[in-house]
């Protein structure tokens, strides 16, 4: 990581997308999207009205008549979905031609690796075949997905194919949300859900078959599941495991389970012409938008798929593309065919995601702008043109900050090939790579680094410990995480009080593992119990688990800021979030109320669902409810006891330094503390936002006393002047001690085992 990191990571993010506002995008994307999302309508006037129309030098205009004709005609392939019944579509998929053979192999083997091109029908068909072959008579067929979006969208599609309502025979479960009923026999879920289920049902008794889909993505949860499922396979003869993968890695998977058969679904793909940039491009958002426009007005029909890194960029690109189209229409007297611009990323509400699969009306070209979610998880038919920026976002552990951060990285060669392949699904296509061939050959890694080797493992460690995997070094990992990584994560858990000095789960740690939450948030809930402010804390945790509730249209910034300010509780953004939820509840969870106060109703509704789910867990654990309102000190204390790891000390006006690593960090202008001019000596924050400056997000003022109580390993009164270096030294020393103690324990255990 550090190798590619230093060589290639570009700090493109802030430069390119920060000043292009998200709301502008919603404005341009039209009322339809806005209606579904439930965002208040922005004012009519747009910036583009006064904008100077740019020249499109590279664009070669065709005769308008021919041009729109061209788009109307010959769209036979993407009309495919329209002309065939849903059952006929099923039979058209490549997997259908090998259905019986595949089922035979599955009957004869307990574990099978299935390999097939994206779109061959693995995700939607395999589960149905298994059902048709009788596997759901005594148990259910589960299918795991690394991505939430895929789980929901595929469950929708399959329930349609099986002509049942979602949540009846076919359902899905993702964190804090499920559509599962007593009749459910095919269950799509994220790999995280299945992993969490192993806590209450170690042998996964209710499943007859598990399809581990998209295993090549090597998500952290999938990698851990590999080890757990291997144990289940050895224990339960009646259990079947199917691992699906794009071509990559299949042999490795087969070897891991003891040389199990690899079944290949013959592909049906068309050649893709690959075009490279001659020179590296400066601004790939800009370059991609230009390329899309060029394709749209010069090339024959076929939809466009653009790969970008994340939500902000995608929205910026959508916005810019829509603007260009507007300009084009107003600057030429010719008929410009319609371009339907569709964003696709995981945080996008599912109703909007569904638009991707809908066929555009005749004469309209679709242009989908997506994250790497469209690389393998979701297949959209009718794509003839792919524009690949060559970058993607990856979660990596940032040792400087001591936390995970999503960072932009060049994709691997395998991903680049996967991306270009998307253009050849319905006919011969073209892929425009916005990087040089030299970069592809010499700078890109052959395949992506598995998540387990690059992220914080705290939750996984907590979970494995609670599954009685005492010694993580003995766990059957396909690619063991670096020992440093394990140790760092264990240290974080120890600091939180979830592990004791020899690395075993404490009582608190055991309880923390019951919540599908990041360990600090789980600790916050449990501290809420202890301090008697559970109600408040659960609301705050729910609000922290959803996208931002604040809606801030660019053209109504002043108004929306004023609306936000009304909710401020001067000493804490956490309490401000609580306040908002309370007020919303008081107003009967009304949508109108949200619109008036510039709040995203969907985000609040999501928070309400999360809250319900958390309360369900609390009831199951028989943890009684408690509240301390209107006294809020205890709530701040609970926040402090979970986030003391992210503490900062005042240095200048609005300026802080992180207590642990000395990094300067700032109050964000949107913070309640900033707005109320409240600059306390000590604060804790939820996370750091990396833009031009390091901004603390969601900040709460705390007493130094609380920091000392919560994190005695970091803070003491005497040492208030100790330098960051000394802290660092001490942290290292503690880690070494812990390591030694664990090593001793291992030796003792090994001796004991030998004497048995
Ligand atoms: O898993 P794999 O990539 O092999 O294919 P799949 O996801 O099962 O997709 C098979 C077909 O179902 C594709 O042609 C998709 O276009 C279609 N599909 C769909 O129409 N709607 C969805 N939500 C998912 C898939
Ligand atoms: Mg699939």
Q: Average pLDDT for residues 598-620, to the nearest whole number?
A: 92
Instruction: Judge whether residue 56 has pLDDT over 60.
Output: no
The pLDDT, as a whole number, for residue 739 is 76
Question: Which of 116, 153, 157, 158 most suits a substitution to test ligand 1, by most atoms within 8 Å of the C-beta?
Answer: 157
Coil, strand or helix at 336: coil
Lowest mean pLDDT among 62-76, 286-300, 634-648, 677-691: 62-76
The pLDDT, as a whole number, for residue 654 is 72
Lowest mean pLDDT among 116-125, 225-234, 677-686, 691-700: 691-700
Closest ligand to the CA of 116: 1
Closest ligand to the CA of 269: 1
pLDDT tens, position by position, 496-545: 999 998 889 999 999 999 998 889 999 999 999 999 999 999 999 999 98
Q: How confident is the model at residue 400 (pLDDT cuts 50, 70, 90)?
A: low
Give yes or no for a contact between 436 and 442, defined as CB atoms under 8 angstroms apart.
no
pTM of model > 0.80: no
**R_g of the chain, CA atoms, integer Å:** 27
Whole-number Å distance, alpha carbon 295 to ligand 1 midpoint, is: 26
Q: How confident is the model at residue 19 (pLDDT cuts 50, 70, 90)?
A: very low
Between CA 706 and CA 528 the distance in angstroms is 14
Instruction: Judge whether residue 42 has pLDDT over 50.
Output: no
Catalogue the E-assigned strands of 292-370. 303-307, 338-344, 364-370
Instruction: Judge whether residue 731 has pLDDT over 60.
Output: yes
DSSP 141-194: EEEEES-HHHHHHHHHHHHHHTT--BTTTEEEEETTEEE--TT--EEEEEHHHH
Ligand 1 atom closest to Cα of residue 125: 8
ipTM computed for the complex: 0.98
Q: Average pLDDT for residues 217-227, to the nearest whole number?
A: 91
Whole-number Å distance, alpha carbon 158 to ligand 2 midpoint, is: 12
The pLDDT, as a whole number, for residue 359 is 80
Question: Which of 115, 121, 381 most suits a substitution to test ligand 1, by most atoms within 8 Å of the C-beta?
Answer: 121
Question: Which of 97, 115, 124 most suits a substitution to test ligand 1, by most atoms within 8 Å of the C-beta?
Answer: 124
Whole-number Å distance, alpha carbon 213 to ligand 2 midpoint, is: 7
Give yes or no for a contact between 254 and 260, defined as CB atoms under 8 angstroms apart.
yes
Residue 613 CB less than 6 A away from ligand 1: no
Residue 148 CB less than 6 A away from ligand 1: no
Closest ligand to the CA of 121: 1
Instruction: Judge whether residue 180 has pLDDT over 80.
Output: yes
What are φ and ψ of residue 206, in 5° steps? -80, -10
Q: How confident is the model at residue 717 (pLDDT cuts 50, 70, 90)?
A: low
Coil, strand or helix at 38: coil
Lowest mean pLDDT among 229-233, 329-333, 598-602, 687-691: 687-691
What are φ and ψ of residue 738, in 5° steps? -60, -45
The pLDDT, as a whole number, for residue 727 is 66
Coil, strand or helix at 406: strand
pLDDT tens, position by position, 321-341: 999 999 988 887 778 889 999
Instruction: Judge whether residue 71 has pLDDT over 50.
Output: no
The pLDDT, as a whole number, for residue 397 is 72
Q: Average pLDDT for residues 552-577, to the nearest whole number?
A: 92
Residue 422 CB less than 6 A away from ligand 1: no
DSSP state of 358: S
226: nearest Cα among 476, 445, 461, 540: 476
Instruction: Judge whether residue 76 has pLDDT over 60.
Output: no
Q: How confident is the model at residue 82 (pLDDT cuts 50, 70, 90)?
A: low
Residue 560 CB less than 6 A away from ligand 1: no
Between CA 47 and CA 52 the distance in angstroms is 10
Q: Average pLDDT for residues 68-74, to the nearest whole number?
A: 34
DSSP 685-733: EEEEEESSSEEEEEEEE--HHHHHHH-TTT--SGGGG--HHHHHHHHHH
Instruction: Judge whether residue 61 has pLDDT over 80.
Output: no
Higher pLDDT, 645 or 40: 645
Whole-number Å distance, alpha carbon 275 to ligand 1 midpoint, is: 27
DSSP state of 569: B
Instruction: Judge whether residue 83 has pLDDT over 70.
Output: no
pLDDT tens, position by position, 154-164: 999 999 999 99
- pLDDT above 70 covers a percentage of the chain that reads 85
Whole-number Å distance, alpha carbon 120 to ligand 1 midpoint, is: 7
Whole-number Å distance, alpha carbon 367 to ligand 1 midpoint, is: 18
CB-side neighbour CA atoms (13 Å) of 332: 19
């Amino acid at each position: 990581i550090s190798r590619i990191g230093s060589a290639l990571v570009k700090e493109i993010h802030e430069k390119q997308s920060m000043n292009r506002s998200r709301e502008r995008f919603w404005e341009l994307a039209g009322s339809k999207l806005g209606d579904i999302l439930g965002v208040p309508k922005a004012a009519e006037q747009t910036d583009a009205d006064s904008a100077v129309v740019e020249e499109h030098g590279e664009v070669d205009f065709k005769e308008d008549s021919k041009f729109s004709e061209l788009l109307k005609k010959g769209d036979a392939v993407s009309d495919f979905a329209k002309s065939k019944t849903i059952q006929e579509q099923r039979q058209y998929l490549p997997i259908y031609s090998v259905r019986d053979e595949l089922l035979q192999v599955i009957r004869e083997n307990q574990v099978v690796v299935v390999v097939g091109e994206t779109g061959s029908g693995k995700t939607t068909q395999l589960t149905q075949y298994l059902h048709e072959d009788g596997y759901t008579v005594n148990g259910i067929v589960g299918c795991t997905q690394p991505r939430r979006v895929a789980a929901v969208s595929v469950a929708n599609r399959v329930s349609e194919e099986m002509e049942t309502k979602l949540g009846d025979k076919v359902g899905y479960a993702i964190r804090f949300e499920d559509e599962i009923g007593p009749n459910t026999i095919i269950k799509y879920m994220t790999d995280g859900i299945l992993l969490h289920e192993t806590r209450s049902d170690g042998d996964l008794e209710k499943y007859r078959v598990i399809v581990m889909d998209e295993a090549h993505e090597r998500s952290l949860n999938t990698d851990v599941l590999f080890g757990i499922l291997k144990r289940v396979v050895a224990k339960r003869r009646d259990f079947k495991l199917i691992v699906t993968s794009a071509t990559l890695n299949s042999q490795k998977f087969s070897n891991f389970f003891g040389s199990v058969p690899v079944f290949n679904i013959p592909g049906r793909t068309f050649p893709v012409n690959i075009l490279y940039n001659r020179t590296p491009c400066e601004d790939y958002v800009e370059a991609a938008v230009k390329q899309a426009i060029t394709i749209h007005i010069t090339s024959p029909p076929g939809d466009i798929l653009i790969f970008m890194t994340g939500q902000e960029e995608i929205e910026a690109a959508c916005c810019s593309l829509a603007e260009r189209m507007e300009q084009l229409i107003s600057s030429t007297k010719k008929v410009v065919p319609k371009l339907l611009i569709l964003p696709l990323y995981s945080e996008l509400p599912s109703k909007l995601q569904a638009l991707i699969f809908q066929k555009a009306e005749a004469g309209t070209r679709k242009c989908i702008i997506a994250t790497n979610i469209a690389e393998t998880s979701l297949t959209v038919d009718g794509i003839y043109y792919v524009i690949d920026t060559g970058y993607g976002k990856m979660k990596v552990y940032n040792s400087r900050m001591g936390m995970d951060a999503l960072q932009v990285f060049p994709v691997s060669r395998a991903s680049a090939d996967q991306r270009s392949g998307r253009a050849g699904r319905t006919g011969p296509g073209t892929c425009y790579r916005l990087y040089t061939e030299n970069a592809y050959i010499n700078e890109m890694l052959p395949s992506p680094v598995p998540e387990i080797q690059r992220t914080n493992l705290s939750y996984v460690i907590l979970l494995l410990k609670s599954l009685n995997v005492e010694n993580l070094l003995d766990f059957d990992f396909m690619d063991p995480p670096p020992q440093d990584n394990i140790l760092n994560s264990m240290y974080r858990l120890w600091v939180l009080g979830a592990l004791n000095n020899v690395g075993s789960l404490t009582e608190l740690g055991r309880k923390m593992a019951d919540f599908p939450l990041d360990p600090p948030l789980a600790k916050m809930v449990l501290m809420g119990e202890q301090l008697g402010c559970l109600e408040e804390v659960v609301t705050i945790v729910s609000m922290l688990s959803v996208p931002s509730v604040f809606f801030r249209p660019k053209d109504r910034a002043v108004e929306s800021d004023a609306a936000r300010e009304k909710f401020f509780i001067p000493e804490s953004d956490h309490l401000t979030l609580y306040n908002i939820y309370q007020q919303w509840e008081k107003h009967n969870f009304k949508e109108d109320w949200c619109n008036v106060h510039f709040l995203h109703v969907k985000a609040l509704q999501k928070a309400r669902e999360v809250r319900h789910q958390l309360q369900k867990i609390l009831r199951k654990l028989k943890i009684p409810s408690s509240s301390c309102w209107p006294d809020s000190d205890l709530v701040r204390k609970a926040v402090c006891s979970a986030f003391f790891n992210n503490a900062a000390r005042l240095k200048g006006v609005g300026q802080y330094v992180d207590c642990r690593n000395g990094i300067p960090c700032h109050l964000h202008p949107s913070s309640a503390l900033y707005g109320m001019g409240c600059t306390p000596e000590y604060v804790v924050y939820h996370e750091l936002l990396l833009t031009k400056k390091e901004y603390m997000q969601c900040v709460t003022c705390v007493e130094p006393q609380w920091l000392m109580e919560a994190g005695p390993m970091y803070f003491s009164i005497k040492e208030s002047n100790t330098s960051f270096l000394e802290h660092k030294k001490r942290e290292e020393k503690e880690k070494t001690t812990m390591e030694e103690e664990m090593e001793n324990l291992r030796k003792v255990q090994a001796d004991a085992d030998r004497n048995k």
